A = this chain, B = another copy of it.
Amino acid sequence: MTAQTHRQWRVAARPIGRPLLASDFEYAEAPIREPDEGEALVKTLYLSFDPAQKSWMENVAGYRDPVQIGDVMPGRGVGVVLESRDGGLRAGDLVEGPIGWRDHAVMPASELKVLPEGVAPPAAMSLLGTTGATAYLGLVHVGKPKPGDALVISGAAGATGSLVGQLGKLAGCRVIGIAGGAEKCAWLTQELGFDGAIDYKSENVRSRLRDLCPKGIDVFWDNVGGEILNDALARLSVGARVVICGGISRYNFDARDPSQMPPGPRNYFNVVFTGATIQGFLLGHYEREIPLAEARLLDWIRKGDLKFKADVREGFEHAPAALMGLFEGGNFGKQMLKVGEP
Protein backbone atom coordinates (compact mmCIF):
# COMPACT_ATOMS: atom_id res chain seq x y z
CA MET A 1 0.00 0.00 0.00
CA THR A 2 2.80 2.48 0.69
CA ALA A 3 5.34 3.74 -1.82
CA GLN A 4 8.67 1.97 -1.69
CA THR A 5 10.74 5.12 -2.03
CA HIS A 6 10.03 8.72 -1.16
CA ARG A 7 11.18 12.10 -2.45
CA GLN A 8 13.15 14.51 -0.32
CA TRP A 9 15.09 17.78 -0.43
CA ARG A 10 18.40 17.84 1.43
CA VAL A 11 20.51 20.75 2.61
CA ALA A 12 23.41 21.05 0.16
CA ALA A 13 25.09 24.27 1.32
CA ARG A 14 24.87 26.93 4.02
CA PRO A 15 23.50 30.27 2.71
CA ILE A 16 25.52 32.42 5.11
CA GLY A 17 25.81 36.09 4.28
CA ARG A 18 23.94 35.81 0.99
CA PRO A 19 20.47 35.04 -0.42
CA LEU A 20 19.32 31.48 -0.83
CA LEU A 21 20.20 29.74 -4.08
CA ALA A 22 18.54 26.78 -5.77
CA SER A 23 21.86 24.97 -5.40
CA ASP A 24 21.57 25.12 -1.60
CA PHE A 25 19.11 22.22 -1.93
CA GLU A 26 19.64 18.78 -3.38
CA TYR A 27 16.82 16.57 -4.60
CA ALA A 28 17.03 12.89 -3.65
CA GLU A 29 14.97 9.74 -3.37
CA ALA A 30 15.34 7.28 -0.53
CA PRO A 31 13.68 4.08 0.65
CA ILE A 32 10.80 4.20 3.11
CA ARG A 33 11.56 2.07 6.14
CA GLU A 34 9.00 0.37 8.34
CA PRO A 35 7.92 2.30 11.44
CA ASP A 36 9.30 1.01 14.74
CA GLU A 37 7.32 0.84 17.95
CA GLY A 38 6.16 4.38 18.84
CA GLU A 39 6.57 5.65 15.29
CA ALA A 40 4.22 6.43 12.43
CA LEU A 41 4.49 6.57 8.66
CA VAL A 42 3.08 9.86 7.40
CA LYS A 43 2.28 10.96 3.87
CA THR A 44 2.94 14.68 3.48
CA LEU A 45 0.00 16.81 2.35
CA TYR A 46 1.35 20.33 2.91
CA LEU A 47 4.67 21.92 3.81
CA SER A 48 4.83 25.20 5.71
CA PHE A 49 7.48 27.91 5.09
CA ASP A 50 9.04 30.36 7.50
CA PRO A 51 12.01 32.75 7.11
CA ALA A 52 13.69 31.18 10.14
CA GLN A 53 14.36 28.10 8.01
CA LYS A 54 17.19 29.96 6.30
CA SER A 55 18.79 30.54 9.71
CA TRP A 56 18.48 26.84 10.48
CA MET A 57 20.42 26.07 7.31
CA GLU A 58 23.09 28.60 8.26
CA ASN A 59 23.47 26.88 11.60
CA VAL A 60 24.84 30.10 13.07
CA ALA A 61 22.23 31.40 15.47
CA GLY A 62 20.70 29.62 18.40
CA TYR A 63 17.34 28.78 16.85
CA ARG A 64 17.34 24.96 17.06
CA ASP A 65 19.39 21.75 16.81
CA PRO A 66 22.22 21.97 14.30
CA VAL A 67 21.41 21.05 10.72
CA GLN A 68 24.12 19.11 8.90
CA ILE A 69 24.86 19.24 5.18
CA GLY A 70 23.09 16.26 3.64
CA ASP A 71 20.27 16.27 6.22
CA VAL A 72 16.71 16.37 5.02
CA MET A 73 15.73 20.06 4.98
CA PRO A 74 13.88 20.73 8.23
CA GLY A 75 10.44 22.22 8.19
CA ARG A 76 6.94 21.72 9.48
CA GLY A 77 3.94 20.44 7.62
CA VAL A 78 0.67 18.55 7.69
CA GLY A 79 0.31 14.92 6.66
CA VAL A 80 -1.96 11.93 6.89
CA VAL A 81 -0.98 8.86 8.92
CA LEU A 82 -0.64 5.78 6.69
CA GLU A 83 0.57 3.37 9.36
CA SER A 84 0.93 3.77 13.10
CA ARG A 85 2.78 1.77 15.71
CA ASP A 86 1.74 4.11 18.49
CA GLY A 87 -1.46 4.00 20.49
CA GLY A 88 -2.08 7.72 20.05
CA LEU A 89 -2.33 7.75 16.27
CA ARG A 90 -4.50 5.86 13.79
CA ALA A 91 -4.24 5.48 10.05
CA GLY A 92 -6.18 8.33 8.44
CA ASP A 93 -5.40 10.89 11.15
CA LEU A 94 -4.40 14.32 9.89
CA VAL A 95 -1.29 15.41 11.81
CA GLU A 96 0.96 18.45 12.07
CA GLY A 97 4.65 18.30 12.93
CA PRO A 98 8.32 18.66 11.92
CA ILE A 99 7.98 16.42 8.89
CA GLY A 100 10.80 18.01 6.90
CA TRP A 101 10.93 18.39 3.15
CA ARG A 102 9.93 14.86 2.14
CA ASP A 103 6.75 13.41 0.73
CA HIS A 104 6.69 10.53 3.21
CA ALA A 105 8.23 10.38 6.66
CA VAL A 106 8.66 7.80 9.40
CA MET A 107 8.90 9.69 12.64
CA PRO A 108 8.12 9.46 16.36
CA ALA A 109 4.39 9.76 16.99
CA SER A 110 5.23 12.02 19.94
CA GLU A 111 6.33 14.75 17.50
CA LEU A 112 3.00 14.69 15.67
CA LYS A 113 -0.17 16.42 16.76
CA VAL A 114 -3.59 15.43 15.42
CA LEU A 115 -5.37 18.39 13.81
CA PRO A 116 -8.39 19.54 15.79
CA GLU A 117 -11.76 18.33 14.50
CA GLY A 118 -13.07 20.49 11.71
CA VAL A 119 -9.92 22.52 11.12
CA ALA A 120 -8.59 22.01 7.59
CA PRO A 121 -4.83 21.87 6.98
CA PRO A 122 -4.48 25.42 5.56
CA ALA A 123 -6.29 26.92 8.56
CA ALA A 124 -4.27 24.80 10.99
CA MET A 125 -0.99 25.87 9.39
CA SER A 126 -1.99 29.54 9.28
CA LEU A 127 -3.64 29.96 12.65
CA LEU A 128 -2.33 27.15 14.88
CA GLY A 129 1.09 25.47 15.09
CA THR A 130 4.15 27.65 15.40
CA THR A 131 2.53 30.59 13.60
CA GLY A 132 -0.45 30.70 15.94
CA ALA A 133 1.56 30.09 19.09
CA THR A 134 4.13 32.73 18.13
CA ALA A 135 1.46 35.36 17.46
CA TYR A 136 -0.54 34.60 20.61
CA LEU A 137 2.30 34.10 23.09
CA GLY A 138 4.50 36.86 21.71
CA LEU A 139 1.65 39.34 21.83
CA VAL A 140 0.42 38.32 25.28
CA HIS A 141 3.77 37.85 27.05
CA VAL A 142 5.94 40.47 25.36
CA GLY A 143 3.55 42.92 23.69
CA LYS A 144 1.19 43.00 26.70
CA PRO A 145 -1.62 44.79 24.85
CA LYS A 146 -4.20 46.86 26.71
CA PRO A 147 -7.54 48.03 25.36
CA GLY A 148 -7.04 51.32 23.55
CA ASP A 149 -3.37 50.70 22.81
CA ALA A 150 -2.04 51.60 19.38
CA LEU A 151 -0.56 48.34 18.05
CA VAL A 152 1.62 48.61 14.94
CA ILE A 153 2.85 45.55 13.04
CA SER A 154 5.52 45.29 10.36
CA GLY A 155 5.24 42.47 7.85
CA ALA A 156 1.55 42.73 8.67
CA ALA A 157 0.25 40.77 5.69
CA GLY A 158 2.43 37.77 6.52
CA ALA A 159 1.16 34.75 8.39
CA THR A 160 2.29 35.87 11.84
CA GLY A 161 1.66 39.58 11.36
CA SER A 162 -1.90 39.20 10.10
CA LEU A 163 -2.77 37.01 13.07
CA VAL A 164 -1.10 39.36 15.57
CA GLY A 165 -3.26 42.17 14.22
CA GLN A 166 -6.48 40.19 14.59
CA LEU A 167 -5.51 39.17 18.12
CA GLY A 168 -4.79 42.83 18.82
CA LYS A 169 -8.31 43.75 17.70
CA LEU A 170 -9.72 41.05 20.03
CA ALA A 171 -7.65 42.66 22.82
CA GLY A 172 -9.24 46.04 22.12
CA CYS A 173 -6.29 47.69 20.39
CA ARG A 174 -6.28 50.14 17.51
CA VAL A 175 -4.27 48.16 14.94
CA ILE A 176 -2.08 49.58 12.15
CA GLY A 177 -0.32 47.28 9.70
CA ILE A 178 2.74 48.00 7.58
CA ALA A 179 2.89 45.94 4.39
CA GLY A 180 4.16 46.13 0.85
CA GLY A 181 1.63 47.08 -1.82
CA ALA A 182 -1.92 48.35 -2.08
CA GLU A 183 -3.48 44.89 -2.35
CA LYS A 184 -2.02 43.70 0.95
CA CYS A 185 -2.96 46.96 2.65
CA ALA A 186 -6.53 46.74 1.39
CA TRP A 187 -6.78 43.18 2.71
CA LEU A 188 -5.66 44.31 6.16
CA THR A 189 -8.22 47.08 6.47
CA GLN A 190 -11.13 45.65 4.46
CA GLU A 191 -10.96 41.96 5.33
CA LEU A 192 -9.16 41.74 8.66
CA GLY A 193 -10.56 44.88 10.27
CA PHE A 194 -7.26 46.68 10.83
CA ASP A 195 -7.79 50.36 11.64
CA GLY A 196 -5.12 51.48 9.22
CA ALA A 197 -2.42 50.26 6.89
CA ILE A 198 0.81 51.77 5.59
CA ASP A 199 2.22 50.72 2.22
CA TYR A 200 5.95 50.94 2.80
CA LYS A 201 6.56 50.67 -0.94
CA SER A 202 4.69 53.86 -1.80
CA GLU A 203 4.32 55.80 1.46
CA ASN A 204 6.64 57.53 3.91
CA VAL A 205 6.41 55.21 6.92
CA ARG A 206 7.71 57.79 9.36
CA SER A 207 5.19 60.48 8.52
CA ARG A 208 2.31 58.01 8.17
CA LEU A 209 3.06 56.65 11.64
CA ARG A 210 2.92 60.21 12.93
CA ASP A 211 -0.52 60.67 11.34
CA LEU A 212 -1.96 57.31 12.35
CA CYS A 213 -0.51 57.18 15.89
CA PRO A 214 -0.74 60.77 17.12
CA LYS A 215 -0.25 59.65 20.72
CA GLY A 216 2.57 57.29 19.85
CA ILE A 217 2.92 53.55 19.37
CA ASP A 218 2.11 51.51 22.46
CA VAL A 219 3.01 48.09 21.05
CA PHE A 220 5.23 47.55 18.02
CA TRP A 221 5.50 44.03 16.60
CA ASP A 222 8.51 43.76 14.33
CA ASN A 223 9.01 41.10 11.68
CA VAL A 224 11.27 43.23 9.52
CA GLY A 225 14.03 45.27 11.21
CA GLY A 226 15.96 47.93 9.30
CA GLU A 227 14.48 51.35 8.61
CA ILE A 228 10.92 50.33 9.49
CA LEU A 229 11.98 49.35 13.00
CA ASN A 230 13.96 52.56 13.25
CA ASP A 231 10.95 54.65 12.18
CA ALA A 232 8.76 52.91 14.74
CA LEU A 233 11.26 53.54 17.56
CA ALA A 234 10.96 57.26 16.78
CA ARG A 235 7.24 57.15 17.66
CA LEU A 236 7.11 55.13 20.89
CA SER A 237 4.80 56.18 23.68
CA VAL A 238 5.86 56.18 27.33
CA GLY A 239 6.03 52.59 28.49
CA ALA A 240 5.79 51.13 24.97
CA ARG A 241 6.66 47.49 24.28
CA VAL A 242 8.56 46.51 21.14
CA VAL A 243 8.38 42.82 20.25
CA ILE A 244 11.29 41.65 18.08
CA CYS A 245 9.92 38.55 16.38
CA GLY A 246 11.75 38.59 13.06
CA GLY A 247 14.09 40.63 10.93
CA ILE A 248 13.51 39.69 7.32
CA SER A 249 15.66 42.64 6.20
CA ARG A 250 18.66 41.05 7.96
CA TYR A 251 18.53 37.44 6.88
CA ASN A 252 20.93 37.72 3.97
CA PHE A 253 23.82 39.02 6.08
CA ASP A 254 26.52 36.98 7.78
CA ALA A 255 25.76 36.79 11.47
CA ARG A 256 29.15 35.15 12.19
CA ASP A 257 30.88 38.38 11.29
CA PRO A 258 29.19 41.23 13.12
CA SER A 259 31.00 43.84 11.04
CA GLN A 260 29.09 42.52 8.01
CA MET A 261 25.71 43.01 9.63
CA PRO A 262 23.55 46.01 8.73
CA PRO A 263 23.44 48.81 11.31
CA GLY A 264 21.07 48.52 14.21
CA PRO A 265 18.26 51.00 14.83
CA ARG A 266 19.75 54.45 15.43
CA ASN A 267 16.68 55.45 17.40
CA TYR A 268 17.12 52.75 20.07
CA PHE A 269 18.02 55.52 22.52
CA ASN A 270 14.41 56.73 22.52
CA VAL A 271 13.75 53.94 25.01
CA VAL A 272 15.38 56.22 27.58
CA PHE A 273 12.89 59.05 27.10
CA THR A 274 9.95 56.66 27.00
CA GLY A 275 11.06 53.93 29.40
CA ALA A 276 10.07 51.59 26.58
CA THR A 277 11.07 47.95 26.37
CA ILE A 278 12.54 46.13 23.35
CA GLN A 279 12.26 42.40 23.90
CA GLY A 280 12.88 39.40 21.70
CA PHE A 281 10.45 36.53 21.29
CA LEU A 282 11.45 32.94 20.57
CA LEU A 283 8.74 30.32 20.79
CA GLY A 284 11.14 27.79 22.31
CA HIS A 285 11.19 29.80 25.53
CA TYR A 286 7.42 29.41 25.95
CA GLU A 287 6.93 25.68 25.32
CA ARG A 288 4.78 25.18 28.38
CA GLU A 289 2.35 27.89 27.30
CA ILE A 290 1.66 26.45 23.86
CA PRO A 291 -1.34 24.27 24.82
CA LEU A 292 -3.09 27.28 26.33
CA ALA A 293 -2.39 29.32 23.22
CA GLU A 294 -3.77 26.57 20.97
CA ALA A 295 -6.91 26.24 23.05
CA ARG A 296 -7.61 29.98 22.89
CA LEU A 297 -6.93 30.14 19.16
CA LEU A 298 -9.14 27.14 18.50
CA ASP A 299 -12.08 28.80 20.26
CA TRP A 300 -11.74 31.84 18.05
CA ILE A 301 -11.26 29.74 14.90
CA ARG A 302 -14.48 27.83 15.63
CA LYS A 303 -16.37 31.06 16.20
CA GLY A 304 -15.06 32.39 12.89
CA ASP A 305 -13.21 35.26 14.54
CA LEU A 306 -9.87 34.65 12.82
CA LYS A 307 -9.24 34.96 9.12
CA PHE A 308 -6.20 33.94 7.15
CA LYS A 309 -4.87 33.87 3.65
CA ALA A 310 -3.01 30.81 2.49
CA ASP A 311 -0.57 31.32 -0.35
CA VAL A 312 -0.61 27.77 -1.70
CA ARG A 313 1.83 26.58 -4.31
CA GLU A 314 1.55 23.03 -5.63
CA GLY A 315 4.16 20.38 -6.28
CA PHE A 316 6.93 18.99 -4.11
CA GLU A 317 9.52 20.11 -6.66
CA HIS A 318 8.79 23.77 -5.83
CA ALA A 319 9.81 23.62 -2.16
CA PRO A 320 13.08 25.57 -2.60
CA ALA A 321 11.34 28.26 -4.67
CA ALA A 322 8.58 28.61 -2.07
CA LEU A 323 11.13 29.30 0.66
CA MET A 324 13.15 31.69 -1.50
CA GLY A 325 10.02 33.66 -2.33
CA LEU A 326 9.55 34.63 1.33
CA PHE A 327 12.66 36.79 1.15
CA GLU A 328 11.34 38.73 -1.81
CA GLY A 329 8.01 39.54 -0.19
CA GLY A 330 6.39 37.43 -2.89
CA ASN A 331 3.99 35.63 -0.59
CA PHE A 332 0.67 37.10 0.46
CA GLY A 333 -0.42 35.30 3.60
CA LYS A 334 0.97 32.04 4.89
CA GLN A 335 3.27 30.40 2.37
CA MET A 336 2.54 26.71 1.99
CA LEU A 337 3.12 24.01 -0.59
CA LYS A 338 0.59 21.33 -1.43
CA VAL A 339 2.53 18.10 -1.77
CA GLY A 340 -0.07 15.33 -1.88
CA GLU A 341 -3.71 14.32 -1.48
CA PRO A 342 -4.98 12.28 1.49
Given contacts A275-B281, A279-B277, A280-B274, contact A266 B269 (CB under 8 A): no
Q: Give the number of copies in the complex.
A: 2
Tell yes or no: A22 within 8 A of B by CB: no
Contact with B along A262-275 (1 / 0, CB 8 A): 11111111111111
Tell yes or no: A261 within 8 A of B by CB: yes
Contact B278 A271 (CB under 8 A): yes
Contact B268 A244 (CB under 8 A): yes
Contact with B along A7-38 (1 / 0, CB 8 A): 00000000000000000000000000000000
Chain B residues, Cβ within 8 Å of A62: 273-274
Determine which of B230, B267, B275, B285 lies in contact with A275 in the assembled complex, contact meaning CB atoms within 8 Å: B285
Contact B275 A282 (CB under 8 A): yes
Extra inter-chain contacts (4) besides given A264-B267, A276-B280, A277-B277, CB under 8 Å? A263-B263, A271-B279, A272-B282, A277-B279
Chain B residues, Cβ within 8 Å of A276: 279-280
CB distance from A215 to the nearest CB of B (A): 14
Tell yes or no: A247 within 8 A of B by CB: yes
Give bound CA distance, A274 to B280, whole Å: 7
CB distance from A248 to the nearest CB of B (A): 11
Tell yes or no: A238 within 8 A of B by CB: yes
Chain B residues, Cβ within 8 Å of A282: 272-275
Tell yes or no: A61 within 8 A of B by CB: yes
Secondary structure at the A interface, as helix, strand, loop or mixed, is mixed
Chain B residues, Cβ within 8 Å of A176: none
Tell yes or no: A234 within 8 A of B by CB: yes
Chain B residues, Cβ within 8 Å of A173: none
Chain B residues, Cβ within 8 Å of A63: 273
Tell yes or no: A291 within 8 A of B by CB: no
Contact B273 A258 (CB under 8 A): no
Seen from chain A, the residues whose Cβ lies within 8 Å of a Cβ on chain B are 61-63, 225, 230, 234, 238-239, 244-247, 250, 258, 261-282, 285
CB distance from A303 to the nearest CB of B (A): 31
Complex: chain B residue closest to A261, CB-CB? B266
Contact A278 B279 (CB under 8 A): yes
CB distance from A144 to the nearest CB of B (A): 12
Contact B258 A266 (CB under 8 A): yes
Chain B residues, Cβ within 8 Å of A262: 266
Contact B244 A272 (CB under 8 A): yes
Q: List 23 A-B contacts (CB under 8 A).
A: A230-B258, A238-B285, A239-B285, A244-B269, A244-B271, A246-B272, A247-B269, A250-B269, A258-B266, A261-B267, A262-B266, A263-B266, A264-B264, A264-B267, A264-B268, A271-B278, A271-B280, A273-B282, A274-B280, A274-B282, A275-B280, A275-B285, A277-B279
Give bound CA distance, A265 to B271, whole Å: 13
Contact B265 A264 (CB under 8 A): yes
Contact A275 B266 (CB under 8 A): no
Complex: chain B residue closest to A246, CB-CB? B272
Complex: chain B residue closest to A286, CB-CB? B275
Determine which of B238, B239, B268 lies in contact with A265 in the assembled complex, contact meaning CB atoms within 8 Å: B268
Chain B residues, Cβ within 8 Å of A250: 269
